[in-house]
């Protein structure tokens, strides 16, 4: 059965399914490699300093190039797009790009992940151009810890203001991503929930991951979600609820008192590679099949040297058909076996 569907795929009919039976359904597009924060778990400021060489603007995909690729991905089965970065709101006229992407018939859902600092000034425009969902990263409500976790940039008040503005603009429910690191912000999880319970906001706790090569990740800095679930349940009884769709990354729990829900993204303690249908496009147009990949397929050079849609489709399809990634399920063995010279891609470059 598998063999038959692969033959059909190679011939170009139907949507591609990878070697582990996973379709291509989501595409995360990094529209900007730069960021106005220096979160130590993503872009530690010692390494991403003022002389760090980010992409020049002509090295980044243009909006036309992004839209052309998104159309092609749509024809291969992608239904969800997420714009991310770096900080996507640093990309000028981002709302225009969203307007263009909403015109792709296959795309059912467009979301944005942002650190929230510039959200208040853009929320209405983003909504007017068709954005319906936003995820804001916010790890803590403690000003000092916030400063530490953002590398000393931005202000907590700006992010909170951005969340309020997003709700007011109709971008709700707003999702909040909180990366939890043991000994840094794990004691603030209940405060985050206390503030947002009962609002059109869904807080999602993310296990600190070993993305990239520079964040000094150690297994003992991860707070397994089950530990947080126990802590939260003791304060506000809650029960697990079904996923919204197959392959949803967050495990959902609902408060028994009707005050909303909370999510847990447990990619370290309970990996979900088995249903991973996410692809990533870097700001300079490389296509990656895993957050922990070491190599990407250069679509920008193909685009800029005159590749036809058929050529590009074949490149994307062929790469997806060969995909075997399941890093989070193999973390321990791969961490030991990988050649240190073979660097993983950095998070800021392909987005979360
Ligand atoms: N700058 C935007 C933001 O922070 O929302 C978008 C890009 S950021 C790379 C996307 C998401 O990745 C954020 O929610 C961030 O917290 C998460 N992230 C970054 N590094 C991480 C790590 N080491 N472990 C887990 N999540 C991480
Ligand atoms: Fe910037 Fe987002 Fe990375 Fe923080 S997590 S440094 S806000 S890209
Ligand atoms: Fe998907 Fe790679 Fe993450 Fe597994 S490790 S869930 S394959 S992105």
The pLDDT assigned to 248 comes to: 84
Can you list the positions of beta strands (E) in the chain? Answer: 26-32, 80-85, 109-114, 133-137, 174-180, 201-207, 238-241, 251-255, 261-265, 278-281, 286-288, 297-298
* Residue 254 near residue 238, CB atoms below 8 Å: yes
User: Does ligand 2 come within 6 angstroms of the Cβ of 85?
Assistant: yes
**292 within ligand 3 shell (Cβ under 6 A):** yes
Could you tell me if the CB of 115 is within 6 A of ligand 1?
A: yes
The verdict on pTM exceeding 0.85 is: yes
> What is residue 114's three-state secondary structure?
strand
Give 12 or 283, the one with higher predicted confidence.
283
Confidence of residue 17 (pLDDT cuts 50, 70, 90): very high
Number of helices and strands in the chain (H, E): 12, 12
| Pocket lining: 319 vs ligand 1, CB cutoff 6 Å | no
Judged against a pLDDT cut of 70, whether residue 7 lies above it is answered with no
Mutate to test the pocket of ligand 2, among 29, 44, 348, 350 (most ligand atoms within 8 A of CB): 348
26 lines ligand 3 (CB under 6 A): no
**In a mutational test of the pocket of ligand 1, which residue from 179, 181, 215, 288 has the highest number of ligand atoms less than 8 Å from its CB?**
179
327 CA to centre of ligand 3 in angstroms: 6
Verify whether ligand 1 is closer than 6 Å to residue 129 (CB atom).
no
Which of 273, 296, 301 shows the shortest CA–CA distance to 349? 296
How many angstroms separate the alpha carbon of residue 188 from the centre of ligand 1? 18
Q: Taking 70 as the threshold, does the pLDDT of residue 126 lie above it?
A: yes
Does the structure show a pLDDT above 80 at 73? yes
Q: How many CB atoms lie within 10 A of CB 291?
A: 22
* 175 has pLDDT over 60: yes
Closest CA to 296 of 42, 30, 81: 30
* Alpha carbon nearest to ligand 2 atom 4, residue: 39
Cα separation values, 247 from 2, 22, 179, 289, Å: 20, 10, 20, 15
Position with higher pLDDT, 299 vs 244: 299
Q: Which atom of ligand 3 is nearest to the CA of 280?
A: 8
Which of the 8 DSSP states describes residue 181?
Answer: B
CB atoms within 10 A of CB 241: 11
* First-to-last C-alpha distance (Å) of the chain: 34
Predicted local distance difference test score (pLDDT) of residue 344: 74
Ligand minimally distant from the alpha carbon of residue 139: 1
The response to whether residue 189 sits with its C-beta less than 6 Å from ligand 1 reads no
pLDDT of residue 335: 82
* DSSP reduced 3-state for 60: coil
Query: What is the average pLDDT score of the chain?
Result: 93
Check if 276 has its Cβ closer than 6 Å to any atom of ligand 3: yes
- Which helix (DSSP H) or strand (DSSP E) does residue 74 occupy? helix 63-75
In angstroms, the Cα distances linking 111 to 41, 81, 214, 253, 321 are 23, 6, 27, 22, 26
Question: What's the average model confidence in pLDDT over 240-269?
Answer: 94
Q: Is the pLDDT of residue 8 over 90?
A: no
Q: Locate tokens 């794990």: which residue? A: 186
44-58 pLDDT, tens per residue? 998 888 889 999 999
pLDDT digits (tens, 9 = 90+) for 203-243: 999 999 988 777 788 999 999 999 999 999 999 999 999 98
Provide CB contacts within 8 A for 260, sequence distance 6+: 196, 197, 198, 199, 201, 202, 254
Mutation test of ligand 3: which of 25, 276, 330 has the most ligand atoms closer than 8 Å to its C-beta? 276
Tell me which of 278, 320, 323 to substitute to probe ligand 3's pocket, judged by most ligand atoms within 8 Å of the beta carbon: 278
Contact between 87 and 37 under an 8 Å Cβ cutoff? The reply is yes
**Is residue 4 scored above 60 in pLDDT?**
no
In the reported structure, the alpha carbon of residue 146 is separated from the centroid of ligand 1 by a whole-number distance in angstroms of 14
Residue nearest to atom 4 of ligand 3 (CA): 273
What digits encode the pLDDT tens for the residues 162-173?
999 999 999 999
Question: What pLDDT score does 287 carry?
Answer: 97
């Amino acid at each position: 059965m598998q063999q038959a569907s692969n033959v059909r795929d190679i011939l170009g009919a139907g949507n591609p399914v990878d070697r582990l039976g996973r379709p291509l359904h989501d595409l995360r597009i990094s529209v900007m490699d730069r960021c106005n924060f220096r979160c130590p778990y993503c872009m530690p400021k010692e390494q991403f300093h003022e002389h760090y060489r980010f992409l020049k603007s002509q090295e980044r995909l243009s909006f036309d190039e992004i839209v052309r690729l998104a159309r092609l991905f749509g024809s291969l089965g992608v239904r969800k797009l997420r714009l991310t970065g770096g900080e996507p709101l640093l990309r000028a006229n981002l709302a225009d790009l969203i307007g263009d992407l909403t015109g792709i018939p296959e795309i059912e859902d467009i979301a944005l992940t942002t650190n929230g600092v510039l959200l208040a000034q853009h929320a209405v425009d983003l909504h007017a151009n068709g954005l319906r969902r936003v995820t804001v990263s916010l790890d803590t409500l403690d000003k000092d810890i916030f400063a530490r976790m953002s590398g000393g940039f931005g202000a907590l008040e700006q992010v909170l203001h951005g969340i309020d503005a997003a709700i007011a603009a109709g971008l709700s429910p707003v999702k909040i991503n909180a990366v939890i690191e043991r000994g840094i912000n794990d004691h603030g999880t209940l405060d985050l929930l206390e503030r947002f319970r009962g609002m059109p906001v869904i807080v999602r706790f993310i296990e600190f991951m070993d993305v990239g090569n520079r964040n000094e990740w150690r297994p003992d800095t991860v707070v397994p979600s089950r530990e947080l679930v126990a802590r939260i349940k003791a304060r506000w009884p809650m029960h697990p609820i079904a996923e919204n769709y197959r392959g949803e990354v967050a495990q959902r729990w609902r408060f028994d008192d009707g005050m909303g829900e909370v999510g847990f993204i447990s990619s370290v303690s309970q990996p979900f590679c088995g249903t991973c249908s996410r692809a990533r496009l870097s700001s300079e147009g490389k296509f990656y099949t895993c957050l922990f990949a070491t190599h990407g397929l250069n679509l920008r050079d193909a685009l800029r040297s005159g590749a036809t849609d058929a050529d590009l489709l074949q490149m994307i399809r062929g790469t997806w058909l060969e995909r075997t990634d399941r890093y989070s399920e193999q973390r321990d063995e791969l961490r030991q076996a990988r050649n240190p010279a073979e660097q993983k891609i950095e998070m800021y470059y392909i987005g979360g």
